[in-house]
Amino acid sequence: MNKIREVLRLKWSVGLPNRAIARSCGVAVGTVSAYVSQAGKAGLTWPLPADLDDGALEALLHPRPAADAGARAYPIWTDVHRELQKPAVTLQLVWLEYLAANPDGYRYSQFCELYRRWARRLNPTMRQHHRVGEATFIDFSGKKPTIVDARTGEVCEVELFVAVLGASSYVYAEACESQTLPDWVGAHVRMVEYFGGSTRLWIPDNLTAGVRQADRYEAGINRTYEELARHYGAAVIPARVRRPRDKAKCEAAVLHAQRWILARLRNRTFFSLAELNAAIRELLVDLNQRPMRIFGVSRTARFEDLDRPALLPLPTTRYELAHWKRATVNIDYHVEVERNYYSVPYALIHEVVDVRFTQSTVEVLHRGRRVASHPRLRGRGHASTLPEHMPSSHRAHADWTPSRILRWAAQSGPSVQALVARILEERPHPEQGYRAALGLIRLGERYDAERLNAAAARALALRSARYQTVKHILATGIDRVPLADEPVTTLSTHDNIRGADFYAAKEARC
């Protein structure tokens, strides 16, 4: 469903042609046309209604019409071509599989002829023509600048991020610590701010931070990167693997950055990334103001004349880096993010949800609809529970209740039962102790009941009603030592030990 929403956004909000949308979303051009047509017939407009979740959108765009007995099933040639690249697969075998699924489909000779016609169009060579404000080509340089650690003298390589506008060849470059997602996103944010706007297309190379699955036909875009592009109104169309002609403009820009920036800095020493980027920014201005041999004017002049008026305006707020993960809602109706726990409506227990988290907030989405939002917690082991997410006294999921957990605990011994009871009592709501109780259940699968009961007794004696305490006691074997045999450590009297009286007198003097 995310792809359908993205197709409709790029068509109705950004205004991209169907072929560009197909490359960005990794679907066929015909699929794009079908989505747009079906959405138009359904009376949808952009933005989509807020209450239209993924299930309703699916039902609206994919009704089940009666089968047309006279229509032939047309082969999906991209799938056919992909199958033919596998070992020992022949066109006849693919046709037989197609015919088994579609008995009234094309005969073998016509199937082969249609495939050959389609295959002739796979590798046309043509000169690229870039429309103003249409595309930004993005890559990292293979040659890297360096900085020196002022404390150790160690020379560290850093990355050079390079971006170029298609129509004007206007270049942006900066040094980053690495090619990881935070640096990749941060460089993009500073790139569009340098340009003063964004193009409608971003064409990066297939690096891991931007593309989670490099594929010739369906490139999987990293969800954070896709969200970043959406924030600035752009669509991501990765260059094909091992097809440098797809980003020839960027290959040339990287070469210019290496010659007119890195080469001129080769004899200078930098002790911080900020110092290096300040020098790069000065040389970047010089590079863009150099007259271009073909056009006789500078990149800056062409940028002001061509690309700048056509760029999409920047949004009112700067993009905040967000991470995504998939999680299954636990029986305590919480999801885990970075060792902290956040509640969702209890009716979603055992459901798979999407979690989006930034430095300040954590959002939980179910089928494209936000169901919970929390401030980001710091540290570990904390929980954020909203009262409206808690079940009423008559729970829909009555299988997991404090009484059931206590009955299980009684089977392992009185100390385990007492420890579980203490865990549930110490939480503001008993459900928040379910996760710790489940941890004890799993410990019962690894250790026998006698050891588990002894470890629970020791945890109670230590006044530490925590799962981690019991786990540590069992792992170290301390549960085998009788409680009565533990030595009692007392401090001896000594001139260097001040004692409580010293600090009491000091406090009185203050």
Radius of gyration of the chain (CA): 31
Among 15-19, 65-69, 227-231, the range scoring the smallest mean pLDDT is 65-69
Length of the chain: 510
DSSP state of 66: P
Q: Look at residues 87, 91, 144 and name the one whose alpha carbon lies nearest to residue 115.
A: 91
pLDDT at res. 126:
36
Which residue bears the tokens 């051009």? 29
For the cut 90, the answer to whether the pLDDT of residue 83 exceeds it is no
Please write the tens of the pLDDT for every residue from 70-82.
Answer: 567 888 887 787 6
How far the first Cα of the chain sits from its last, in Å, is 68
The model scores a pTM over 0.75: no
Please write the tens of the pLDDT for every residue from 159-216.
Answer: 999 999 988 889 999 999 888 888 888 999 999 999 999 998 888 876 665 565 444 4
C-alpha to C-alpha distance for 328 and 161, rounded to whole angstroms: 37
pLDDT at res. 44:
81
CB 184 within 8 A of CB 167: no
C-alpha to C-alpha distance for 422 and 461, rounded to whole angstroms: 12
C-alpha to C-alpha distance for 375 and 453, rounded to whole angstroms: 38
CB 396 within 8 A of CB 431: no
| Helices (H), ranges, 258-303 | 273-289, 299-302
Which residue bears the tokens 């600035």? 232
C-alpha to C-alpha distance for 474 and 442, rounded to whole angstroms: 13
- What contacts 180, CB < 8 A, 6 or more positions away? 209
Architecture of the domain delimited by 135-310: 2-Layer Sandwich (3.30)
For 156, the enclosing helix (H) or strand (E) is strand 155-157
Q: How many CA atoms lie within 13 A of 75 on its CB side?
A: 29
pLDDT at res. 508:
56
Pairing of the two strands 383-384 and 340-343:
parallel
C-alpha to C-alpha distance for 256 and 284, rounded to whole angstroms: 10
